[in-house]
């Protein structure tokens, strides 16, 4: 099982993140080829409930072998440009650094070489991404001998994976659009509301049907001041897992032409919901326990105004 990264591997990862050259790439690849890595996965639809129950008892601290009959499918990440990548983590600590991201349903221990062999067989995948939350190192895969393109793309249809599909929209795709397209996209979002959000799910649910429709989202946009417009979005109750958003908030400063993005995230039973912020750089900031219902708007206004005054 993958342990904490060696000092040599961490140095190689940091060097590759800082400067992507041939020397650093060869050094990192050589080290990765000697270790087992962690690969997020989901179970196919209609998997025997007994197998799911058996696998749910496995934890990073007490991992269990994959039960006989289980056929987990590796998760695939997609960036804003629509490119798909196979995520690989070098330790449990690297997975846990995904602040505000729900835990993956399953993680598989695999030799790095086996990951590369698998990626080549998955149609539409550009390559691997090493430690997406920290180093975010992309590795393209050579497909010179892969004339057929491999099997059909993996469909992420397992119910437990709904949280990850939704989280990708809430924590990456939506804020990515807001921060890159700014006022134009925010106007479109406020105009088309839920219709705009449902479009983010078109590809992930192409084969099994999107569980959301435009009416599942409630919007309220307020002009707080000359320097602050605030949009509150109530999210669907369906597939509302810990780590997904109960409410999202989008702010816009017309004078500075700057956006802000916040969310109240659902907590596990017995814990408090969290107020999180995603920055233009994609960093997740934890603002602590979410304020009580009725006080959320004022909390977002206070944070946004404090940023404007700096």
Q: With bands split at pLDDT 50, 70 and 90, how would you rate the model's confidence at 258? A: very high
Summarize the confidence of residues 281-310 as an average pLDDT.
Answer: 84
Look at residue 220 and tell me whether its pLDDT is greater than 90. Answer: yes
pLDDT at position 102, please? Answer: 56
Quick one: what percent of the chain has pLDDT higher than 90? 27
Q: What 3-state DSSP class applies to 95? A: helix
Q: What is the mean pLDDT of the chain?
A: 79
Q: What φ, ψ does residue 233 adopt, rounded to 5°? A: -125, 115
Q: What stretches of 76-117 adopt beta strand conformation (E)?
A: 77-78, 84-88, 106-111
Structure tokens belonging to residue 3:
């342990």
Q: What is the pLDDT of residues 27-50, one digit of tens each?
A: 998 898 888 888 887 655 554 555
Q: What is the pLDDT of residues 108-125, one digit of tens each?
A: 787 888 888 778 777 778
Higher pLDDT, residue 288 or 43: 288
Structure tokens belonging to residue 291:
């304020």
Q: What is the pLDDT of residues 66-87, one digit of tens each?
A: 444 445 677 788 776 677 888 8
The pTM of the whole model exceeds 0.85: no
Summarize the confidence of residues 139-158 as an average pLDDT.
Answer: 47
């Amino acid at each position: 099982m993958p342990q904490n990264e060696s000092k040599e591997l961490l140095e190689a990862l940091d060097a590759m993140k800082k400067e992507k050259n041939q020397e650093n790439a060869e050094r990192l690849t050589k080290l990765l080829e000697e270790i087992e890595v962690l690969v997020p996965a989901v179970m196919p639809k209609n998997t025997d409930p007994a197998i799911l129950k058996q696998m749910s008892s496995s934890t990073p601290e007490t991992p269990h072998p994959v039960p006989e009959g289980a056929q987990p499918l590796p998760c695939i990440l997609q960036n804003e440009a629509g490119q798909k990548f196979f995520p690989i983590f070098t330790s449990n600590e690297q997975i846990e650094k995904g602040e505000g991201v729900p835990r993956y349903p399953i993680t598989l221990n695999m030799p790095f070489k086996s990951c590369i062999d698998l990626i080549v067989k998955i149609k539409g995948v550009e390559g691997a991404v090493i430690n997406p939350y920290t180093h975010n190192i992309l590795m393209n895969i050579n497909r010179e001998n892969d004339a057929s393109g491999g099997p059909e793309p993996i469909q992420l249809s397992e119910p437990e994976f709904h949280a990850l599909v939704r989280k990708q929209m809430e924590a990456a795709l939506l804020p990515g659009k807001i921060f890159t397209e700014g006022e134009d996209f925010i106007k479109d979002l406020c105009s088309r509301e839920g219709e705009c959000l449902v479009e983010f799910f078109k590809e992930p649910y192409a084969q099994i049907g999107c569980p959301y429709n435009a009416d599942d989202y409630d919007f309220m946009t307020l002009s707080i001041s000359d320097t602050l417009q605030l949009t509150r979005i109530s999210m669907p109750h369906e597939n509302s897992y810990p780590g997904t958003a109960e409410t999202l908030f989008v702010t816009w400063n017309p004078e500075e032409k700057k956006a802000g993005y916040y969310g109240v995230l659902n907590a596990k039973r017995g814990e408090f919901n969290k107020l999180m912020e995603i920055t233009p750089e994609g960093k997740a900031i934890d603002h602590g326990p979410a304020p009580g219902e009725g006080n959320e708007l004022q909390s977002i206004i206070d944070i946004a105004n404090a940023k404007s005054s700096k």
